[in-house]
Structure 1
Amino acid sequence: MPVNVSPTASPSGNDLEAVARSGSRFRRMAVRIPTYLADVKENPAWLPMFMLARTMPGRRAHWAMSAKYKPTAASAPSIFGDLDAAKIAEDLRRDGIFANLQLPAEIHTEIRDFADATPCFGNFNRGLEFLAPQHDEAEATFGRSLLSGHFFERSLDSPGVLAVQKDPLLIDVARHYLGATAQLITTRIWWSFPTKASSEADRSLASLDKFHFDLDDWRMLKFFFNLVDVDEGTGPHVFVKGSHSRRKTKHQYTLLVGHPADEVLDYYGADKAVTLTGPAGSGFVEDPFGFHMGTVPTTRPRLMMEVGFGVSKPSRRRFHGEPVIRR
């Protein structure tokens, strides 16, 4: 079954958590400056991307100069069946999202079993290591709320994760949409947990309950897969259709990528916000320049997988702790 689409109204782990808890978005930006400087030193082309890719004129110019993808052979068989990558790319250009992907049961079951049996790291902090089924005990042990559990490089120890990451449909869609230079840059799985003790700072750290857009490259595409059944109580993903291709001036000429929900929905339209629920294995692909957010689980933990593509040389610093890609 596909995802159900319905309307809806590198610092270290310790550094990231300290930044999120500071309570000031401007302070969070200031603390990231050393990381930004390291990115510029490693790749000077990062700075113009960081400054200009948030603006529509800058993005359109970069898209116009990109090498177009010209398929030379039929695509290899995919675990997703007979889907048309070019048609998916058309939907992405129109809406910014396509929600009709489904993993085979043996794939998402293997990843779920792996995530249950492999320790994850709470709140991006490698000092908070625990097994997801023991989440409540871990909160008691550490004396704090644990809103997320990331696996970092351990994600690539799952055969199911590697099978999804390497599936030919993903790179085919990415090249049709992003251009000939599209390449794999991130792969990760992570838990989001319901916890009564979560604060606004915790939710900000986990990119929950606040609309934002991603700015890790000039052009990006991200595939997401629900690895458990996701309903309204499981913290579903929300995306604002069309917000990838038009942008309020205030949302372009600012260093902030996160904006209040009422401000986003007032401009782009509340009817454009869709909530993505669905059974285990259901998935979708989106242009993460569009406004999106994860919501906080209230009844059950959510386990998700992400495979990301970009057009620039990946930096050594992995965003959100993603591992270096194994090719």
Structure 2
Amino acid sequence: MVSLTERLKTRVPTWQRFFQRAREDARNPAYDLLPVLGLDQRNGFSRTLAAFSPKTPGLRPTDAQAILHDQLRHDGLTGLQPPLPAGVLSDLVSYFKATPCHDPYRPHLGLFDWNQPPSDEINIGYYTWEEVLRAPHMLDLMNSPDILAVAEAYLGCKPVIDNIGAAWGYPGRNTAKGVQRFHRDYDCSRCFKAFYYLTDIDATSGPHTYVRGSHQDRRLESGKAQTDDAIIEAFGADAIETITAPAGSWFLEDVYGFHKGQLPADKPRLLLAIEYNLYPSPLSPKQPLMERLPQHDPYINKLFLK
């Protein structure tokens, strides 16, 4: 069993640094302590927090929403949902192709076109929060009534939209990096993401892969990325689901469960992700970036819309 101090080191090297980060940003303590807490502790904290958080009066999920909730609760992963309308998908892809990417881990390489990464060291081309937020239809996707209803049922209260992102994965790389290896997300004590495939994803274009049931399983609870062999030994090959689907398809996933985006083999992939949390994490801006429209719930959108 990994010690508490060793688990803390997955986020910060020392308790002194932990307290320093707490002074820098009030969101950091809950974020930094997540790898330290056990599954039962996280679940208990989530239930307590949800009990005192805002809720939508009279909200009753539809049958379709209830199915998504049950799939998410049982497996940590929902089935594939029907693709976005063709016009919405086209607008999103055109926007991201026209917006330069960057690699935050190699800032010296600067901005680059989506299909022209300046170095083979770059496995993933990212967009900033503001660039993603300004994408066409983005606010509607973030505030999808179906997803918000599932979120409230799953979290036990209204969600907070947190940690939005879009990125290209590039083929022809020899080594998987970062989120291309099996990992758990320790962003919030309970959360999930909506993943949108914006390009066609087959077995050779970097499909998303998830370990069903691992969102309620403490095996390999180390805070570190895991090899495929370790995942198979712990959970069995039958628990691993590789998700291929046409462009525009989407699904929901509890990202505490082990997951990864596979290294693309022969063509780039574009993925959009929106996270729904119990509370804010440091993975969102300190101040909102855009004006909120009247139809957008102020609590749900408070991290990005003012």
Q: TM-score, normalised by structure 2?
A: 0.79
- How much identity, in percent, do the aligned residues show? 25
Q: How far apart are the structure 2 equivalents of 1:170 and 1:89? A: 9
Name the residue aligned to 2:234. 267
Q: How far apart are the structure 2 equivalents of 1:31 and 1:45? A: 14
**8 Å contact kept, 2:205–2:267:** yes
**8 Å contact kept, 2:126–2:166:** yes
- Structure 1 residue runs without a partner (length 5+): 1-25, 76-81
Compute the displacement of 1:317 (Å).
5.7
Name the residue aligned to 2:243. 276
Q: How far apart are the structure 1 equivalents of 2:161 and 2:91? A: 22
Compute the displacement of 1:27 (Å).
9.6
Compute the displacement of 1:39 (Å).
4.1
Name the residue aligned to 2:114. 132
- Structure 2 residue runs without a partner (length 5+): 1-7, 291-302
Compute the displacement of 1:259 (Å).
1.8
Compute the displacement of 1:31 (Å).
7.2
Match of 2:58 among 30, 48, 72: 72
Q: How far apart are the structure 2 equivalents of 1:34 and 1:148? A: 33
SS of corresponding position for 2:190: coil
SS of corresponding position for 1:233: coil
Q: TM-score, normalised by structure 1?
A: 0.75
Q: Deviations over 1:9-28 (max 9, x none)?
A: xxxxxxxxxxxxxxxxx998
Q: Following superposition of structure 1 onto structure 2, how do residues 159-174 of structure 1 map, counting pairs within 5 Å?
A: 159-174=136-151
Name the residue aligned to 2:42. 59
Cα separation, partners in 2 of 1:114 and 1:264, compared to 1, 3 Å: same
Is 1:299 matched up with 2:283?
Answer: no
Q: How far apart are the structure 2 equivalents of 1:238 and 1:97? A: 10
Larger helix percent: 1
SS of corresponding position for 1:61: helix
Name the residue aligned to 2:275. 308
Is 1:109 matched up with 2:86?
Answer: no
Question: Relative contact order (alpha carbons < 8 A, sep ≥ 6): 1 or 2 greater?
Answer: 1
Larger strand percent: 1
Is 1:204 matched up with 2:177?
Answer: yes
Name the residue aligned to 1:192. 169
Question: Structure 1 stretch 153-162 or stretch 210-219: which is displaced more?
Answer: 153-162
Match of 1:46 among 30, 44, 60: 30
**8 Å contact kept, 1:97–1:241:** yes
Name the residue aligned to 1:15. none
Q: How far apart are the structure 1 equivalents of 2:278 and 2:241? A: 27
Letter matched to residue 218 of structure 2: R
Q: How far apart are the structure 2 equivalents of 1:104 and 1:32? A: 49
Q: How far apart are the structure 1 equivalents of 2:132 and 2:111? A: 14
Give the length in aligned residue pairs. 277
CA RMSD, 1 decimal: 3.1
Q: Deviations over 1:52-94 (max 9, x none)?
A: 44x222123224424366651567xxxxxx8722221111111
Q: How far apart are the structure 2 equivalents of 1:33 and 1:120? A: 35
**8 Å contact kept, 1:240–1:291:** yes
